[in-house]
Structure 1
Amino acid sequence: MNIEFISQLNQSQVQDLVRLYQSTWWGQGRTTEDVNKMLQHSDLIIGINHPDHQKLIGFARVLTDYVYRAVIWDVIVDSTYQKQGLGQTLIQSLLDHPQLQSIEAFLLVCLPETIPFYEKLGFTSDVGELKLMKRVKPTSSYYSL
């Protein structure tokens, strides 16, 4: 398959990314405005563009300090192009990226059923006693009396 890696998205590709988010359980409801803001504040992005169709078919991003940690987020491959090694290619391109070569540890969050996929790329679910925590933004009705 003919693909190209891109590190910036044009507006058409941003729309493709919004569509990709809509196809996931965790990205539904993301808006073009919010995705544009997210892209501006991500440290590094990698997209896979299908040049024959001028369409974004894969995406992943990183937040990092460029020394100690890099967190990989939003690994998505269009369902039409899954099971062709593109997810692995996305992750490997991040791990091999010249700007990320001094990173001590890459981190990511995934569902249990995707652990075998990431283990093949050198990730482990053994994180010792570390626990993932989250805080959800309170809604205005939360503070209503």
Structure 2
Amino acid sequence: MNIEYKINADLSPEQFIDLLKRSTLSERRPIDDKNCIEGMLKNSNLSVTAWNSGTLIGIARSVTDFSYACYLSDLAVSKCHQKKGIGKQLLSITQKQLGPKCKLILVAAPAANAYYEKIGFQRNERCWILERSHRIGQR
């Protein structure tokens, strides 16, 4: 298998949605909202993709300042290509694009916690999420 990795490659919403469906992320991403998916792609400023014979098989999609913080929004690898080091390579290439003090930060799906710990991420109990449906100060 010859995997080609690309940085900030053009990617259609359809290709991204297809990958999300072939990975485990489609359950937690708005795959039925094309406008939202388009915004996710358009407003990411760092993406690393993995391709096999012209087919998207993996992505690490981030928002970053390249100096201090890189928020990894998605790490997806198609199920049939998992456990082959593709996710690690996507993260490694992402990390190489960042400055020497820049941290990779993410919110993991519960099933992925062991994976991230295994590859060297440290658990942090200080993550907070405010859903759009909630207003600041309201419970």
Q: Secondary structure at the match of 1:133?
A: coil
Q: What are the residue-to-residue correspondences of 1:1-145 with 2, within 5 Å?
A: 1-6=1-6, 7-11=8-12, 14-23=13-22, 24=25, 25-50=27-52, 52=53, 54-97=54-97, 100-125=98-123, 127=124, 130-138=125-133
Corresponding letter in the other structure for 1:48: A
Q: Which runs of 4+ in 1 moved over 6 A?
A: none
Residue identity in the other structure for 2:106 = L
Alignment RMSD (CA, Å): 2.1
Q: TM-score, normalised by structure 2?
A: 0.80
Contact 1:92/1:121 (8 A) holds in 2 = no
Residues 34 and 80 (structure 1 numbering): CA distance in 2 closer, same or farther, change over 3 Å? same
Q: Which structure has the larger Rg?
A: 1
Larger RCO: Structure 1 or Structure 2 (Cα < 8 Å, ≥ 6 residues apart)? 2
TM-score by structure 1 length?
0.77
Partner Cα separation in structure 2 for residue 32 and residue 21 of structure 1: 13
Equivalent pairs counted in the alignment come to 130
Name the amino acid aligned to 2:71. V
Distance 2:105 2:132 in 1: 23
